[in-house]
């Protein structure tokens, strides 16, 4: 066999293997990106308006949630990485989500979090999930314990009012996975609603934890001994760009692509759709204010908090609780 013929055979084999792999992945995917039924969640007890619950053009797990975080990087490891020209972990201006539990601090830079949207982790023996919705710029950290169960969350491929919907990932028996007429038995959870909206755990609440939303530089000044999430080495190339493509922007500004409950267009509380807001929990319910906060707005350091675009917060929580 000549060298050219041998190379042709090898090339054809690679093409066939890649085609088979792509076909195999497609066969195992749940959710076609277009129809809710294809995601196989039981919506019979859905607690929200089905008109604003919609596929987000990706299948289940279309964004690879981190289900079990690797051992975090310590401050020395981060410092060494930042000293290398081509492997910088985070710059001082990089935005992060920071969490402190029982004196232990950990950071989750958005440059990595954007490509997962959901990171299941454990900090100070507390199971947490750090969440970020690219479409609504929403960040929140939750305790993963619901009743007696500790859940692991993943990307459902569905959005509610444009915002992230997670599902509690469980083992699916092969006979149920193959039977595409059956629900797979997991529940759906809304990030901004902070509760289960459909499935066996419908109505259960998630505990929101205090969190920091700001720059890596500011975080390190407050917590010089902070640890930080370990990026997934399989996503190394992806981390260098944004998951949002030009189709989600118009004239350089983001635009809604999926159904959502429209906010008021007139009145004292009208804001730009993509005005950032910070919301925080109090004993009397949730309050919110535009970001950055004014000098009069004081949020207790131990208050649970969430950040988001205004239109998404309004669509799910209404306009009550604004602090000016």
Which element (helix H / strand E) includes 315?
Answer: helix 310-317
- Identify whether the C-beta of residue 138 lies closer than 8 Å to the C-beta of residue 113: no
Neighbours of 33 (CB within 10 A): 14
Predicted pLDDT at 28? 64
Please give the Cα distance from 210 to 300 (Å, whole number). Answer: 9
Structure tokens at 162: 């444009």
Predicted pLDDT at 251? 62
- Identify whether the C-beta of residue 185 lies closer than 8 Å to the C-beta of residue 170: yes
Predicted pLDDT at 197? 98
The length of the chain in residues reads 324
The DSSP bridge partners found for residue 129 are 120, 142
Phi, psi of 45, rounded to the nearest 5 degrees: -110, 30
Predicted pLDDT at 3? 53
Q: Which residue has the tokens 């149920």?
A: 176
Going residue by residue through the chain (324 aa), what tens digit of pLDDT does each one get? 565 554 444 444 434 333 333 333 344 699 999 999 999 999 999 999 999 999 999 999 999 999 999 999 999 999 999 988 778 899 999 999 999 999 999 999 999 999 999 999 999 999 999 999 999 999 999 999 999 999 999 999 999 999 999 999 988 888 888 878 788 899 999 999 999 999 999 999 999 999 999 999 999 999 999 999 999 999 988 898 888 765 666 666 677 889 999 998 877 778 989 999 999 999 999 999 999 888 788 899 999 999 999 999 999 999 899 998
Please give the Cα distance from 92 to 214 (Å, whole number). Answer: 10
- Identify whether the C-beta of residue 52 lies closer than 8 Å to the C-beta of residue 202: no
- Identify whether the C-beta of residue 33 lies closer than 8 Å to the C-beta of residue 59: yes
- Identify whether the C-beta of residue 261 lies closer than 8 Å to the C-beta of residue 315: yes
What pTM does this model have?
0.89
| Beta-sheet pairing, 227-228 with 104-109 | parallel
Predicted pLDDT at 252? 63
Phi, psi of 303, rounded to the nearest 5 degrees: -80, 135
Predicted pLDDT at 10? 43
């Amino acid at each position: 066999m000549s060298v050219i013929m041998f190379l042709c055979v090898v090339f054809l084999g690679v093409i066939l293997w890649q085609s088979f792999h792509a076909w195999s992945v497609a066969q195992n995917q749940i959710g076609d990106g277009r129809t809710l039924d294809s995601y196989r969640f039981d919506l019979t007890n859905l607690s929200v308006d089905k008109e604003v619950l919609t596929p987000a053009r990706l299948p289940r797990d279309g964004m690879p949630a981190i289900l079990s975080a690797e051992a975090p990087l310590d401050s020395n490891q981060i410092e060494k990485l930042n000293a290398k020209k081509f492997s910088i972990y985070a710059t001082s201006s990089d935005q992060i989500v920071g969490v402190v539990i029982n004196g232990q601090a950990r950071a989750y830079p958005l440059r990595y979090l954007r490509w997962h949207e959901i990171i299941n982790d454990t900090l100070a023996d507390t199971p947490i999930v750090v969440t970020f919705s690219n479409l609504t710029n929403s960040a929140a950290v939750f305790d993963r314990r619901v009743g007696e169960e500790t859940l692991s969350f993943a990307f459902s491929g569905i959005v509610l009012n444009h915002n992230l919907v997670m599902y509690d990932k469980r083992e699916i028996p092969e006979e149920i996975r193959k039977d595409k007429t059956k629900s797979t038995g997991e529940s759906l959870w809304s990030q901004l609603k902070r509760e289960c909206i459909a499935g066996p755990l419908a109505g259960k609440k998630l505990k929101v934890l205090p969190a920091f939303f700001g720059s890596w530089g500011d975080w390190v000044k407050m917590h010089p001994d902070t640890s930080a999430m370990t990026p997934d080495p399989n996503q190394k190339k992806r981390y260098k760009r944004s998951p949002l493509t030009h189709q989600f922007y118009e004239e350089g500004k983001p635009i809604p692509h999926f159904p959502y409950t429209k906010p008021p267009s007139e009145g004292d509380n009208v804001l730009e759709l993509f005005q950032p807001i910070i919301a925080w929990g109090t004993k009397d319910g949730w309050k919110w204010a535009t970001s950055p906060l004014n000098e009069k707005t004081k949020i207790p350091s131990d208050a649970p908090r969430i950040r988001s675009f205004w239109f998404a917060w309004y669509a799910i929580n209404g306009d009550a609780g604004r602090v000016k």
